[in-house]
Amino acid sequence: MSVAAEPAVLSVRGIEKRYGERRALRDVSFDVRPGELVAVVGPNGAGKTTLLSILAGVQRPSAGSVSGPSARAQGGRAIGWAPQQPALYSKLTVAENLRLFARLEQVSDPQRAVERMLEHTGLTERARERVERLSGGNRQRVNVALGLLSDPQLLALDEPSSALDPRQRSRLWELLGALAGRRTSVLFSTHHLGEVRRYATRAIVLADGELLFDGPPAELLASARGSGDDLEGAFVAFLADRGH
């Protein structure tokens, strides 16, 4: 069975988010299927973080519905989430942060989950180091590790590679690729279109809260005129064609 034919693990229908008069999201609908790596791209202020935080259960939509695993209903375990800014306690060590959230997420064997995450993220040697002493890249790795603690069906990552160096980035994508291979769906926002082309199975383009494109990255490249093999150029041209 192809990925497209499988039932969706997450269905988003007609989501809107309003902050007073401002509409951060307008009638956004899409599905995510098991094992998909879905990139959410768009200019700053497009609504990427708002969308991911609604899926993660941090915010509620003003209208529309999200069906599938509910972050709130299962004590935050069904959807893993790594926010844009690492959400960690800086006075605690890496292992203490992981252990605390493993316990709060009621993971069956917290110690085992911590060891597994330390190993997956290459942080075993840093386990006893306080987060306040870690580099930005390593903090981001712990941040992603926290999202993976409960082995969720769907992982929502807000710009996960933004603070990582090329080697760490490569390691992150290796980890996410492995997760997708185990049929975990990954939804991530990014400004690195090279990563979208290389790793994403699908791209969602948002601008001013509107969903403008939903399909494979290659289709996005093809849809833009005269950009050759340059996805970034294609993306800019795509937005310009639609008045953004």
Partner 1 sequence: MRWLLAKDLLILRRSRLLVAVLVIYPVAIALLIGLAISRSPSKPRVAIVDETLPGQTVQVGSQRVEVSQYAEQLFSQIQPVAVATRSDAVAKVRQGDVLAAVVIPRDIAARLSSSIAPAQLEVIYNGNALEQSLVRSTLNSALAQANLGFSEQIQQAAAKAIDLLLEGGNLGLLGGPQNLIGLSQIPGALDAIIARQPHGHDRSELERIARFTNFAAQNLALSKQVIATASQPIRVRSTLLHGRRTPLNTFAVVVAVSVSLMFIAVLLAAGGVALEREEHALMRLVRGLVSSERLLLEKILLSAGCSFVVAFAMLAGVSAFVTLDWSRVGLWVAALAFGAAAFAALGVAIGALAREVRAASLLAFLLSLPLAFLALVPAGSLAAGVNDAIRAVSFVFPFKAALQALDAAVNGASPAIGSSLVHLAVLTLVFAALARVGLRRLD
**Residues at the interface with partner 1 (CB under 8 A):** 53, 56-59, 71-77, 81, 83, 85-92, 96, 100-101, 103-105, 130, 146
Smallest distance, Å, CB 45 to partner 1? Answer: 15
8 Å CB contact between 39 and 190 = yes
Provide the H-helix boundaries in the chain. Answer: 48-55, 94-104, 110-120, 136-148, 166-181, 193-199, 217-223, 231-241
Q: Which two tokens stand for residue 90?
A: 């800086």
Smallest distance, Å, CB 56 to partner 1? Answer: 6
Using the minimum distance from each CB to partner 1, give the nearer residue, 53 or 184.
Answer: 53
Smallest distance, Å, CB 72 to partner 1? Answer: 4
Smallest distance, Å, CB 48 to partner 1? Answer: 15
Using the minimum distance from each CB to partner 1, give the nearer residue, 160 or 217.
Answer: 160
Using the minimum distance from each CB to partner 1, give the nearer residue, 65 or 90.
Answer: 90
Separation of alpha carbons 42 and 201, rounded Å: 17
Separation of alpha carbons 50 and 18, rounded Å: 10
Find tokens 């007073």 and name the residue. 20
Using the minimum distance from each CB to partner 1, give the nearer residue, 97 or 227.
Answer: 97
CA 134, 187, 171, 195: dihedral to nearest 10 degrees? -110
Nearest in space to 87 (alpha carbons), one of 150, 143, 157: 143
Smallest distance, Å, CB 47 to partner 1? Answer: 16
Using the minimum distance from each CB to partner 1, give the nearer residue, 86 or 217.
Answer: 86
Using the minimum distance from each CB to partner 1, give the nearer residue, 146 or 220.
Answer: 146
Q: Which residues contact 5 (CB under 8 A, 6 or more apart)?
A: none
Find tokens 């180091």 and name the residue. 129
Q: Which two tokens stand for residue 217?
A: 């990255």
Find tokens 């992603």 and name the residue. 144
Smallest distance, Å, CB 234 to partner 1? Answer: 33
Nearest in space to 79 (alpha carbons), one of 57, 111, 62: 57
